[in-house]
Amino acid sequence: MTHLLDSTALLAFILDEEEADAVEHLMFDQACAVSFATWIEVHGRLRSLGLPAEDVASQLGDARALPLVTLWADGATLEKALEIKEGGYFPFADTLIAATAWALGLVLVHKDSHFTALPSVVRQLDLRSIPK
């Protein structure tokens, strides 16, 4: 595994946003993973779009069939999450997602400006910086 997709990256693919091609390339040409917290955030975002429950379930089912490994928090991830939280406020799910990338040495793929506040040891790929 080389990359960890944040919810914003996975949603870019699911919703066919302008970064979808870059995410697709990563998923099919690299070994990618997602945090368990990503699935929860993606579900919530799809619901917030007003999609019917059956459409949300269908979208999630399609996404779960992608070549992604789901990672769960372990002791090392929890330690890194505490370090991130000590650095100031950070949304809970994003703390877990970033800590997972940090603990496993994965590149965090996202399009969230608040990830710039992470320690420099968390390698990142901001999809917004990729030329269109």
Coil, strand or helix: which one is 1?
coil
- Nearest-Å Rg of the Cα atoms of the chain is 14
pLDDT in tens, 18-27: 999 999 999 9
61 contacts: CB under 8 Å, gap ≥ 6: none
Alpha carbon distance 66, 72 (integer Å): 17
* Domain boundaries, given as residue ranges, for the chain: 3-129
- On whether the CB atoms of residues 98 and 82 are closer than 8 A, the answer is no
Q: Which fold has domain 3-129?
A: Rossmann fold (3.40.50)
Using the predicted structure, report yes or no on whether residue 64 has a pLDDT greater than 80: yes
pLDDT in tens, 92-102: 999 999 999 99
| Residue given tokens 């490994």 in the structure block | 69
